[in-house]
Chains A and B, each alone.
Chain A
């Protein structure tokens, strides 16, 4: 699947396109298919996102997982600070990143 990501303009937080809006949780990501470039232009123009781009991903039993480690780290947070990740109460969460 193709998923769309970027950063929130005001806060800089990593966000993922859900099909209708943006989410902090990669698991909410929608498959943007061939529409990624148009969405990037529209959403950046509306200042909903900054630095948006399309990445490869896959829907797994555990949720949506970007293909590349860099995007997986973006999705979760720094692997060396589990307390600052998207799932601070789950110390095992970093295992799906690496």
Chain B
């Protein structure tokens, strides 16, 4: 994985020293909260419902074991013994003290981490496919391109005060595991007819109060124009994105209001202009970055045999592992969704255990997924049972990946100052109702996502079943959506009708699953059946 050079390290260290001084001045009364707030937000420090919350960036979701170990240590030393992995592949801590924050950031800097660009109207931490560099089906490892974009976007002076926050995802597989088309810019690395690698660009996607699927804006951008084209996309947005209304300030509104074709025309015009300027980094820089992402030393001829006599292990292998590009290896996902648990939460001890397992059995590498799970990208099949046993002993062996129990949920009103309703208790009730191995096997792939407000951090628009918590005259109320997807077949869920109480929405899901099971044909997933038969039968069962 990428290793900081002296410039990266100096940049992060300088920022820590700068923030330490800003905190000192705030505590001494030299800065008011109005002056300090934008400074702390630029360092990932929010003031949430119960305390300060620190969001730490995990670039494209990739971590080494030293970094992961530190994340566990921070949970124990500075927080209340746990961290929360987020839907943007980051981690956040809910109980941070302002006076501790400079020390935390200094510790993070020692392992090449920071909390920069996890807040504010800038280009946020870039997300990617959690199976990058390991999946059998990918065209190329997307992370070097994500890293190049990270370096370009970090402290980019022109894009530090955009009309609104800006999120970029980079993938390189037909299987989209990063919700790429629901980002401000989605980039898919592709191979053209000549066999050259380039980038396919999508722009103007997003969730929130106005969900939109990003349209394709360019089929192929050559690698030596990747940054220039990105710059053109951002420039047009920065110039014409609305600043008068924060609810209409995202690029999706600009692309929608201009129309895709007019936005593309303006980008191409800007692109042509920028090509006359020497802003593109030399390809040698991309090649330098790529040297950090070479395959680890896979054992040639490693055995593909797996002893699956332990039924619990067998279930976990079937559900939580994915084909690796290297024979004898698998990609293994650790579900942070135990039945009745809090999605995405892990204790300091669990975090350190996952770090140690990655060090011993996954070439020192882990990934955070946008579905709030952790991935060991390169596990030798011969080691898999040992890894599973260690996970099982730590309560981390839940076999529910991509099933109804693998719920994405934002922190909701239990933690978030913006939320209107709680998300976690709903997730827990659904998990308890449907979380048995039998129910999950019966329902198959079913992606359920819950947001506690219209900002959609829980990706409810993209759930096969989505739930949106709203405030209805001071009471929590939950809208139900069906038919969303964040994969290669991206679609937006449709609201079923009037909302429900907390218990009512769980019952409504039960009815929706009954409709699915009664109408399922062959190997259809819930989403497939919904798309084939439409909303009406579900609505009738839920409200009839």
Say whether B96 contacts A12, CB under 8 Å. yes
Asked if B342 lies at the interface with its beta carbon under 8 angstroms from chain A, I say: yes
B29 and A12 contact, CB distance less than 8 A: no
For residue B422, which residues in chain A have a CB less than 8 angstroms away from its CB? 73, 79-80
In the complex, chain B residues whose CB is within 8 Å of the CB of A44: 33
Which residues in B have their C-beta under 8 angstroms from that of A84?
80, 95
Q: When the two chains form their complex, are residues A80 and B413 in contact, meaning their CB atoms are under 8 A apart?
A: no
For A, the interface residue count at a CB cutoff of 8 angstroms equals 24
Chain B contact residue count (CB 8 A cutoff): 28
Q: B457 contacts the other chain (Cβ, under 8 Å)? A: no
Stretch at the interface among B45-53, B103-111, B364-372, B441-449: B45-53
Closest to B36 in A: A50
Min C-beta distance of B96 to chain A, whole Å: 7
Between A14, A70, A84, the greatest number of chain B beta carbons within 10 A of the residue's beta carbon is seen for A70
Which listed residue, B26, B29, B47, B428, touches A80 by the CB 8 Å rule? Answer: B428
Take A9-B98, A79-B422 as given contacts and tell me if A73 and B49 are in contact as well, using a CB distance cutoff of 8 Å: yes
What 1/0 flags go to B335-351 for Cβ under 8 Å of A? 00000001000000000
Contacting residues, chain A, for B474 (C-beta < 8 A): 67-69
Q: State the CA gap A84–B419 with chains docked (Å).
A: 19
Could you tell me if B415 and A50 are in contact, using CB atoms closer than 8 angstroms? no
Contacts of B414 on A, CB cut-off 8 Å? Answer: 73, 78-81
Please provide the chain A residues from 57 to 85 with a CB less than 8 Å away from any CB of chain B in the complex: 67-70, 73-74, 77-81, 84
Once A73-B414, A80-B424, A84-B80 are accepted as A-B contacts, the answer to whether A12 and B47 lie under 8 Å apart by CB is: yes
Note all chain B residues with C-beta closer than 8 A to A7: 47, 51-52
A13 interface neighbour in B51, B99, B415, B475, Cβ under 8 Å: B51
Contact of A50 among B29, B33, B50, B419 (CB under 8 A): B33
List, in ascending order, chain A residues with CB within 8 A of B425's CB: 79-80
Chain A interfacial positions (CB closer than 8 Å to B): 7, 9-14, 44, 47, 50-51, 67-70, 73-74, 77-81, 84, 98
Closest 10 CB pairs of A and B: A12-B51, A12-B52, A78-B414, A80-B424, A11-B97, A10-B99, A80-B414, A50-B33, A74-B49, A10-B98
Residues of B within 8 A of A (CB): 26-27, 29, 33, 47, 49-52, 80, 94-99, 342, 413-415, 419, 422, 424-425, 428, 474-476
Known: A12-B50, A50-B33, A84-B95. 8 other contacts (CB 8 A): A9-B27, A47-B29, A51-B33, A67-B474, A79-B414, A79-B422, A81-B414, A98-B476
